[in-house]
Structure 1
Amino acid sequence: MNAPSTPQITLYTSAVCGYCVAAKNFLKSRGLAWNEVRIDTDPAEREKMVALARRTSVPQIFIGDTHVGGYDDMMALHRAGKFEPLLSGESG
């Protein structure tokens, strides 16, 4: 009778990235936790991110197995009311 768990939020980031900071600030403002993967310190993680996201820019944001995209993509989902359902485990 456990409540459904919130999908893990994963952010692929690098050190010098304004959009990465903006994405983390947005998540923090919503009281959310995330797993940060630094691609600038781990080339293997960068390759994994590119394979999963098919993009080379950061941040790349995943909620569970769903690729949200970058910061602008996440904000567009939020404005459209589709970000919170993803957090509830509903697929879009």
Structure 2
Amino acid sequence: MTTGLNQLSRTVYEVDVPAGKKRLQVTATRAAGQSGQFKLYVRQGSAPAVPSAVDCTADSTTLPAVCSIVDPVADKAYVMVEAVSNVSSLSLRVDALTK
């Protein structure tokens, strides 16, 4: 999915995590030539409550920004993106992996 974010905005996405997966991986990248800083938070079971109630964090200082949760619980996971500055084009990819 691709989205744009305004400075200081937060967007939360709900993800279904199937049983038997070994890793939940969320990858965020900006389109080539685009600017803007963001933070990525992932939490299982309920939406992230920053800064303390998160299972994984990453930010735009190194791209792609990647959050991985090993042996995720089969349930809901929540991905929150927080824009530190305006982000015109942000791509998110969520993978539930068997390895």
Same fold (TM over 0.5): no
TM-score by length of 1: 0.28
Which structure has greater helix proportion? 1
Structure with the greater relative contact order (CA < 8 A, sep ≥ 6): 1 or 2? 2
TM-score by length of 2: 0.27
